[in-house]
Amino acid sequence: MNNDILFTATIHDYLSLDRTGTRLNTLADNFFHASRDLLQQIAEAMDDNNHTLWRSHLHTLKGIAGVAGARNLHDLCDRLRIKNNKNFIDTPEDVMTELHDAIDKYQDAIHQTLESTPGDNMRLC
Amino acid sequence: MLTHDPIDTETSPVHSGKTIKILVADDHCVVRDGIKMVVHGYFDNAEVIEAKDGDETLKTAAENPDIDIFMLDYYMPNNHGTKLLTVLKNSYPDIPVIFISSSEDYELMKDTIDNGASGFIPKSTSPQIIVQAINLALAGGTYIPKSLLTTANQNNSSPQPSTHGLTCRHMEILKLIADGFTDKEIAKKLDVSRHTVKAHITCIRNLLGAANRMIAIENARKLRLIE
């Protein structure tokens, strides 16, 4: 497991709940679905220069990243919040690229993890 | 009992054989589903009821008098944080409340514990630790993550080298424990909450490398910190 991308203890615990990885698969699916919506909302908040709303959405994204075991995204949300604490320093394009990249890496890491489990229901969105 | 991760309680539920009813409140379904998955995965007899915000938490609590524990997101729409905690504690003083939060802010954690919360769990916490924190809270203890305890120790005012990092307050509490005072009596004597006393005792135990308060007293005596 990739320590930079995943909270490995979290992923390990989810996998220990069922050998097929069904629970983790479901959680990851829910996470990807929810993160797509949140990314859209984060982009809109930046476009509107609504800093408060942007922070709120980023906070939510950090929370679901933590629950889903996405260390890279969780930590990135923290870094972005600190860097853009008062005003937007980064451009919307930069922020969105970083967030999308982090989610893609998490998706790959989860996919690899699930593929290496013995279950037969490893379908990720 | 109060501790931090790694926790010295078992992952198995303290309510073994009895159904544990947990109210999980968070405005995001991924968090609620994640906690629900963990609870159902680790507890044989668990019922999870959900709420999406503070008002719904209070409504659901009123409709379910047999709730064993509250797990609340710190930031939620329509009532949250210590304000919601105070309302719950006034209505259900014996039901432990654990906060789950994206924030890992020491002051926030301290504020919730000082106001009677039985734990503060960052959302990045692993499932096993979450389960242990639930068990600890159900057993009457308070869960504080190690990362936040470290900050607590760093923030303690002017530790004296001769006291092995223990602050004046720690020394005061240590002596009272050695004199046989209970948490409740210490809290009354120092005019602080029992949770604050428990938080101090955890710091004391950590600084003295003690698994429990009796060993802390033994170690303190060996180090000639107390008579």
B118–A contact, CB cutoff 8 A: no
Per-residue confidence (pLDDT) for residue B198, from 0 to 100: 78
Chain A residue numbers with beta carbons less than 8 Å from the beta carbon of B101 are: 63
Provide the pLDDT for residue B153. 63
| Domains located in chain A, CATH noted | 8-115 (1.20.120)
| pLDDT attached to residue B8 | 40
Per-residue tokens: A103: 């989610």
- Residue B131: inside a domain: yes
B139 and B217 both lie in a single domain = no
- pLDDT of B181 reads 84
- Selected for mutation to probe chain B from A1, A3, A11, A13 (highest B CB count within 10 Å) is A13
Q: Are residues B132 and B179 in the same domain?
A: no
- Which has the closest alpha carbon to A66: B227, B93, B125, B143? B125
**Nearest CA to CA, how far is B7 from chain A (Å)?**
15
pLDDT at A33: 95
Average pLDDT of every residue of chain A: 90
**Residue B140: per-residue pLDDT:** 87
Same domain, B139 and B160: no
What pLDDT was estimated at residue B164?
A: 65
Q: Which residues of chain B have pLDDT under 50?
A: 1-10, 12-15, 158-161
Distance CA A49, CA A51 (A): 6
Question: Looking at residue B201, what is its pLDDT?
Answer: 82
CA distances from B95 to B2, B14, B181 (A): 16, 15, 25
Helix B194-207 / helix B213-222 crossing angle, nearest 10 deg: 50
Model pLDDT, residue B154: 65
Cβ–Cβ below 8 Å for A60 and B28: yes
Q: Give residue B163's pLDDT.
A: 61
Q: Which of B28, B35, B125 sits opposite A34 (nearest CB)?
A: B28
List the single residue in B with minimal CA-CA distance to A56. B75
Q: Which domain range does residue B95 map to? A: 2-145
Residues B85 and B187 in one domain: no
pLDDT at position B86 is: 94
CA dist., res. B146 & res. B106, Å (int): 11
pLDDT at A11 over 50: yes
Which tops the pLDDT comparison, B18 or A119? B18
pLDDT value of residue B175: 86
Angle at B180 between CA B175 and CA B186, to 5 degrees: 65
Phi, psi torsion values for B88, nearest 5 degrees: -65, -40
Residues B26-76: tens digit of each pLDDT: 999 999 999 999 999 999 889 999 999 999 999 999 999 999 999 999 999
Which residue from A20, A31, A41 is spatially nearest to B33, judged by alpha carbons? Answer: A31
With respect to residue B31, please indicate whether it lies within any of the assigned structural domains: yes
- Residue B58 forms part of a structural domain: yes
Q: Specify the 3-state DSSP secondary structure of B223.
A: coil
- Res A68 pLDDT > 90: yes
Instruction: Give pLDDT, residue B151.
Output: 66
pLDDT at residue B114, rounded to an integer? 87
Distances (CA, A) of B33 to A61, B14, B51, B211: 15, 23, 12, 34
Contact A62 B29 (CB under 8 A): no
Residue where a domain terminates, one of B123, B145, B167: B145
